[in-house]
Amino acid sequence: MDLAHGVQLVSFGILAAIAIVAALGVVLLQNIVYSAFLLGGVFASMAGMYLLLNGDFVAAAQLIIYVGAVNVLILFGIMLVNKQQDFPAIKGMWIRKGATALVGAGLLVLLAGTIVTTPWAISTATPTGDGSTLKIGEHFFSDFLLPFELASVLLLIAMVGAIVLARREFVPEDTPTTEEELAFKLPERPRETAAIAGGSQTSPE
**Residues sharing a CB contact under 8 Å with residue 51, sequence separation 6 or more, in sequence order:** 59
Task: Pick 7-83's CATH classification: 1.10.10.10, 3.30.70.2740, 2.40.430.10, 1.20.120.1200.
Answer: 1.20.120.1200
Q: Is the pLDDT of residue 194 over 50?
A: no
Which of 55-64, 153-162, 164-173 has the least mean pLDDT? 164-173
Q: What proportion of the chain, given as a percentage, has pLDDT over 70?
A: 71
CA distances from 44 to 65, 79, 128, 169 (A): 11, 22, 23, 35
Indicate the pLDDT class of residue 186, thresholds 50, 70 and 90: low
Please state the rounded mean pLDDT for residues 161-170.
Answer: 69
Report the phi/psi class of residue 176: left, alpha or beta, with left for phi > 0 and alpha for psi in -120 to 50: beta
Mean pLDDT across the chain: 77
pTM: 0.58
Model confidence at 205, pLDDT cuts 50, 70, 90, reads very low
Over residues 70-90, the mean pLDDT reads 73
- Please name the residues in contact with 160: beta carbons below 8 A apart, sequence gap of 6 or more: none
State yes or no: pLDDT of 151 exceeds 90. no
Q: What is the pLDDT of residue 199?
A: 52
How many Å apart are CA 112 and CA 39, to the nearest integer? 22
Q: What's the pLDDT at 197?
A: 47
Mean pLDDT of 133-144: 81
Angle ∠(4,56,158) on CA atoms, nearest 5:
145
| Inter-residue contact 35 to 74 (CB < 8 Å) | no
Q: Looking at per-residue confidence, does 171 or 28 come out higher?
A: 28
CA dihedral sign of residues 161, 163, 167, 172: negative
Percent helix, strand, coil in the chain, to 5, is: 70, 0, 30
If one compares 173 and 30, the residue with the highest pLDDT of the two is 30
pLDDT for the residue 137: 79
